[in-house]
Amino acid sequence: MGLGAKLIIVFILSALVLVTLIGFGVRQTVDRHFEHHVRPHIITYFDYVQKDIGSPPNFRKAERLAKRLRLQIAIIHAGNTWHSDGVPFKESEVVPRKARHIPPRLHRLPLQLVSLQGKEYLMMLQRHSKILFGIPELRPRKTDQRWMVPMLIIIMMLMIIYAAIQYLFSPIRHLEQGVKRIGQGDLAYRIDVERGDELGRLAHSINSMASDIQHMLDAKRQMLLAISHELRTPITRAKVAMSLIEAGPPLDSIGQDLDEMVVLIERILESERLSSKHEPLNLELIRPYSLIGDVVQEYFPHSNICISGCDGVAALMLDRQRMSILLKNLIDNALKYTESRQPVDVCCFEDIGQNNKHVVHFVVKDCGVGIAANHLAHLTEPFYRADPSRQRKTGGVGLGLYLCKMIAESHGGQLLISSELGHGTTATASFPRDGSGIRGV
C-alpha cells in the first residue's frame, strides 16, 4: 500500500473520530438545553392547545387550530372519533408504540407516543377524551434521493484530497529511482525535482552528495593512474639493471616480482580506463571458438584445457584485446586451483535470455577445492581475495576478476561466479548478441 493511500485512510479515520466526538458533544449539549429550556415550552404549548380545544373538546375549534398551526389533530371522545383531515378511524386503531427514529427526548414529555394508520402521534389524556397531535416525519422516505448529493460531495472531496496527496508526494518516486541509480554506481545521474519544499531540498542534497562522491572517485582514479605511470619508469630501470647481473635463482625471483608488478599496473590502468564511460571499445566480429583457441594457444599452450561446444556459435561484436584479457584471467584462475591431472573446461554456447534476447555465454569451469558461499558475492570487488594469505602459489592481489567484470559490463554483459566446496568453481561471462548495452553503441 502506497504512502498516499495510507494518508487517505488516516485522514478518513481521523475525520470519523472527530465527527463522532463532535456529534457526542453536540448531542449532550442539545439534550441539556432541551431538558432545561425547550421541554417546558413544549409542555406549555400543548397545554395551551388543549385549553383552546376545550373540555369536552370542541371539534370546530380543533379544526381551526389544525389549519392555523398546520397540525394533524385527532380526537376520541365518548366513543366518537374525529380527525382534522377527515380521515375515519376507530379507537382500536390507536396503538402505543416506541419509534426508533423519534428522538429519546420526546419520550420524556408527559405525552404518550402512539401509532394511527401508520403515522406517529403524541396523545394527551383528558378525563373523558384523548387528543392526538401528529408528528412530522423526522426521516426521509425511502424514495427520497437527496442523500446522494452529500454522498457525491464526500466522494469528490476524497478524490480531490487523494490527488493533492499524490501531487505532494510525487517527488518520492523520483527520489527512490535516483537513489537506486546512484546506489548502482551511476553517479552521473541527477534527480530532477523542481520543488522548494523539504522534498526538493532532500533531492538537492542527494544530488550534491552524488557530485561529491563522483569528484572523490575521479580524484582517486587520477591518483591511481598517476602512481601507475610513475611506477613504470623505475620498473623499466630495474629490468635493465637485471640484464647486467649474472643469472641465478635470486635473479629469477627478482624478475618474477617485477613481472607481477607490471601485470598489477596494467590491470589497474585497464580497470580505471573501463571505469570511465568515455573509453571506447575496439569492436569487431569475432568467432568465439577462434577467440578461445587463440587465448589458449598464446598463454596456455601446455596446460590441460578442454574446449567444447563452440563450433555452432556464430560471430558477434567484441573487443578482441579486452576479451582476451577476460578469458586469460578466468582460465589462469581455474588452472591455479586445479590439480595438474584434472582438465579445465572452457566452452561457449548461445541461448535465449530475458526479453527473448539471444545471449552468448563463455564458461570456464575447474575441478578445484571450490569457494565458500560467503565469498562469492565479493569476488568481483577490487582487491578482494578469498585467500587472505596472498601466497605466491595462487598469486594476484584481487584485481583479475574485478577487471573481468568491468570488461563484461562494458560489452553490456555480466559475469557470474558459482562454486561449491569440494566440487570446483564455474565462471560465466554472458553477452547479448544484439550488442545492446555496449559502451558507445
- The domain ranges of the chain are 3-134, 175-257, 280-432
Residue 52 has pLDDT above 90, yes or no: no
Confidence of residue 291 (pLDDT cuts 50, 70, 90): very high
Residue 357 has pLDDT above 90, yes or no: no
Over residues 162-198, the pLDDT tens digits come to 788 777 777 888 888 888 888 877 778 888 877 777 8
pLDDT at 97: 76
pLDDT for res 57: 86
Q: Mark 60-82 as b/e (b = at least 16 C-beta within 10 Å).
A: eebbebbeeeeebbbbbbeeebb
Mean pLDDT, rounded, for 31-41: 75
Residue 191's CB: how many other CB atoms inside 10 A? 21
What is the end-to-end Cα distance of the chain in Å, rounded? 40
With a cut of 50, say whether residue 260 has pLDDT above it.
yes
| Mean pLDDT of the 392-406 span | 73
Whether 258 shows a pLDDT value over 80: the answer reads no
Show the cell assigned to 137. 416525519
Confidence check: pLDDT of 99 > 60? no
Does the structure show a pLDDT above 90 at 232?
A: no
Alpha carbon distance 269, 263 (integer Å): 10
**Looking at residue 430, what is its pLDDT?**
94
Residue 314: is its pLDDT beyond 70? Answer: yes
Q: For 136-146, write each residue's pLDDT tens digit.
A: 764 555 555 66
Q: How many CB atoms lie within 10 A of CB 53?
A: 24
256: cell is 618474477
What are 79-91's pLDDT values in tens digits? 889 998 888 988 8
Residue 290: C-alpha distances to residues 79, 189, 300, 418 (Å) = 121, 39, 15, 26
| pLDDT for 135 beyond 80 | no
Within 8 A by CB and 6+ apart from 316, the residues are 285, 286, 288, 360, 431, 433, 435
Which is nearest to 430 in space by CA: 338, 363, 367? 363
Burial per residue of 93-103, b for 16 or more beta-carbon CB atoms within 10 angstroms, e otherwise: ebeeeeeeebe
* Helices 39-53 and 59-69, packing angle to 10 deg: 140
Give kind and range of the element (H or E) at residue 133. Answer: strand 129-134
Q: What is the mean pLDDT of the chain?
A: 80
**What is the average pLDDT across 205-234?**
76
The confidence score (pLDDT) of residue 54 equals 83
Tell which CATH classification among 1.10.357, 3.30.1330, 3.30.450, 3.40.1350 matches the domain 3-134.
3.30.450
Q: Is the pLDDT of residue 35 over 90?
A: no
- In DSSP terms, 113 is beta-bridged to 122
- pLDDT score for 439: 65
Q: How many CB atoms lie within 10 A of CB 295?
A: 21
The arithmetic mean of pLDDT across residues 156-160, rounded, is 81
pLDDT of residue 330: 93
pLDDT reported for residue 101:
46
Question: Which residue has better confidence, 353 or 274?
Answer: 353
- Strand 425-432 and strand 358-365: the pairing is antiparallel
DSSP 174: H
Is residue 65 pLDDT above 90, yes or no?
no
Which pLDDT belongs to residue 392? 47
Rounded to whole angstroms, the Cα distance separating 137 from 309 reads: 90
From CA 144, how far away is CA 148, in angstroms rounded? 9
**What is the per-residue pLDDT for 165?**
78
DSSP 8-state symbol, 222:
H
- Cell match 584471467: residue? 329
Average pLDDT over residues 319-325: 90
Rounded-to-integer distance, Cα 423 and Cα 367, Å = 6
Query: In the sheet where 344-352 sits, what is the strand order?
Result: 305-308, 344-352, 358-365, 425-432, 414-419
CA distance 150 to 148: 6
pLDDT, residue 275, reads 66
Q: In this structure, which long-range contacts are made by residues 167-171, counting pairs with CB atoms below 8 Å and at least 24 apart in sequence?
A: 169/3, 169/4, 169/199, 171/195, 171/199, 171/200, 171/203
Phi–psi pair at 243, nearest 5 degrees: -65, -15
* Architecture of the domain made up of 280-432: 2-Layer Sandwich (3.30)
Q: What is the mean pLDDT of residues 144-153?
A: 73
**Class of residue 294 by CB neighbours under 10 A (exposed 0-12, middle 13-18, buried 19+):** middle
Q: What percentage of the chain reaches a pLDDT higher than 90?
A: 14
Residue holding cell 386503531? 93
Taking residues 337-348, report their average pLDDT.
Answer: 85
Q: Find the range with the poorest average confidence among 14-23, 34-43, 176-185, 241-250.
A: 241-250
With 50 as the cut, is the pLDDT of residue 390 above it?
no
Give me 114's grid cell: 402512539
In the chain, % helix, strand, coil (3-state, to 5) comes to: 50, 15, 35
Q: Is the peptide bond before 56 cis (omega within 30 degrees of 0)?
A: yes
Check residue 37 and give its pLDDT.
74
Contact 281, 240 (CB under 8 A): no
Helical residues (DSSP H) of 243-365, grouped into ranges: 249-275, 288-299, 320-336
Residue 157: CB partners within 8 Å, gap ≥ 6? none
Q: How large is the average pLDDT for residues 10-39?
A: 80
